[in-house]
Amino acid sequence: MDTKSERHFALKSALKPVGAGVVGWWGGRPGGGKTDKRCVFTHERRPQGSPPHYPTTPAPTGTDGAPFIERRATQGSPPHRPAAPAPTGTSGVSTKRYTVLVGVLLLLLLILSSCSFPGVVSSSAQLPQVKQTPQSTQLPPIRFPQDEAAHNDLTEWWYYTGHMNATDTSGKVHTYGFELVVFQALRSDIPPVYAAHFAISDITRGEFHFDQRRLIEPNAVIPNGTSTSGIDVHVGDWSIQGLNGLDHLAAAMQNYSIHVDVQGTKPATLHNGNGLITYGLAGFSYYYSRVSMTLSGTIVDHNQPLKVTGQAWMDHQWGNFLSLGGGGWDWYSIQLNNNTEMVLYIIRGSTGQTTATYVGYIDANATNHLIPSSALHVTTLNTWKSPTTGANYPSGWRLAINDPQLQVALTITPLLKNQELITYASTGNSYWEGAVSINGQSTGQQVQGEGYIELTGYTHGLGVVRK
């Protein structure tokens, strides 16, 4: 494939009974959690030049049962782009036809919503199963800044996590972790669907808070690799905007809001060597991260504005790909005070067995090293059981890597036990995503650090897998 437009893996979907095809989902790092009622779709190639046809999406709903679009509109947070007005005619026929069409569409979405389709994921990248060497492909390479913006692909998300510190007027130090993610899903002829999660880990108060949003944007502008203006995605008044690794994040919920700038201090890390993972007939995924970003700006904590500084991590993944249902993953982002970073993930199958492991190490010179999975050993030190979902999450880890490229022994500790997001209203799942502290040794030197860990699939009773 020689052009950006040929990236599309054309899909024609048809809902079938469970077991007849592949479970589709649209968000999160390595995948999405399996739901009790699964929507399954099959796929086939379409003639070249014909428009892609994607699986349908459920009607967005809020925690109060109201459609998410209407709920947000009543709260004074209109979509970023206005909805297209209904067509009108002198006879009124067009308006009536439009009304009927919308009614049928909403009915279809409500029927599908019982399947939690498209079964979004929990995090910054539907972590792909990859080989330990870059994969050759005819798909075009990632380009900056063109590929920072949205694409006409089945699944896409922009994912930010980080740590912030502030001092109030009395001299008291405040410490926070944060998560802000925006998902974009394209399905069939339905307008783009956007979902977003915003979370604050208030370490000083010992509290965790999150919010979620979901809406349809009929007039969304998707540059698909043709713009040099960078990221510009909104879900109501939550937004991510930026260019060339200098991004502005804005989000608000009860008692907390942020307006922060994050700036990459290293070039983007292209995962798997070239940032591209191909699945043959199953599709493809592009995936890069900005593993070291300085952070500055403002948090409003219970109506008290505080200047914050810190560091952040950003993931961007997009593509036309499908994944089997069930299973889950553990995803680690690690930022050490010796100016090195690591990204690790362990993917589990539906029975809890490890099916794939990825280890990436970014050295102080920003060189990305792929470490063999056999060099990684992770021990779970404790567990935490959610009082809300009953999920039994690992809580505390000892991580060891023994390879000629890297020798590491780290202890990773959650800064709060409860950092679980219950996001069924927006993305159809629940997961643990939280701020952690890190201590240990790297290449013979004592190190400290910060990070974020994402845990999915534990709601389904897979338990803790020790490697």
pLDDT in tens, the chain (467 residues): 433 333 222 222 222 222 222 223 334 555 333 333 223 222 322 333 333 333 333 333 333 333 333 223 223 333 333 233 333 333 344 444 444 444 444 434 433 333 332 333 433 334 444 444 444 447 789 999 999 999 999 889 999 999 999 999 999 999 999 999 999 999 888 899 999 999 999 999 999 999 999 999 888 889 998 899 999 999 999 999 999 999 999 999 999 999 999 999 999 999 988 998 765 555 678 999 999 999 999 999 999 999 999 999 999 999 987 555 678 899 999 999 999 999 999 988 888 888 889 999 999 999 999 999 999 999 999 999 999 999 999 999 999 999 999 999 999 999 999 999 999 999 999 999 999 999 999 999 999 999 999 999 998 654 443 33
Q: Are 416 and 386 in contact, with CB atoms under 8 Å apart?
A: no
Work out whether the CA dihedral 278, 283, 285, 286 comes out positive or negative.
Answer: positive
Closest CA to 328 of 430, 197, 184, 182: 430
Give the Cα separation of 148 and 152 in Å (integer): 13
**Is residue 78 domain-resident?**
no
The residue segments making up the domain with residue 147 are 4-66+113-460
Give the Cα separation of 437 and 414 in Å (integer): 6
Instruction: Give the up-direction half-sphere exposure of residue 244: CA atoms within 13 A in the CB hemisphere.
Output: 2
**Is residue 108 domain-resident?**
no
| Counted domains in the chain | 1
**Is residue 118 domain-resident?**
yes
**Is residue 74 domain-resident?**
no
3-state secondary structure at position 7: helix
- The CATH number assigned to the domain holding 61 equals 2.40.370.10
Structure tokens at 5: 């437009």
Rg (CA), the chain: 22
pTM reported for the whole predicted model: 0.75
- Which helix (H) or strand (E) segment holds residue 25: the answer is none
Give the Cα separation of 465 and 348 in Å (integer): 9
**Is residue 101 domain-resident?**
no
3-state secondary structure at position 5: helix
Q: Which residues of 270-289 are buried (b: 16+ CB within 10 A; e: fewer)?
A: bbbbbbbbbbeeebbbbbbb
Q: Are 438 and 450 in contact, with CB atoms under 8 Å apart?
A: yes
**Is residue 276 domain-resident?**
yes
**Is residue 107 domain-resident?**
no
Give the Cα separation of 123 and 433 in Å (integer): 8
**Is residue 103 domain-resident?**
no
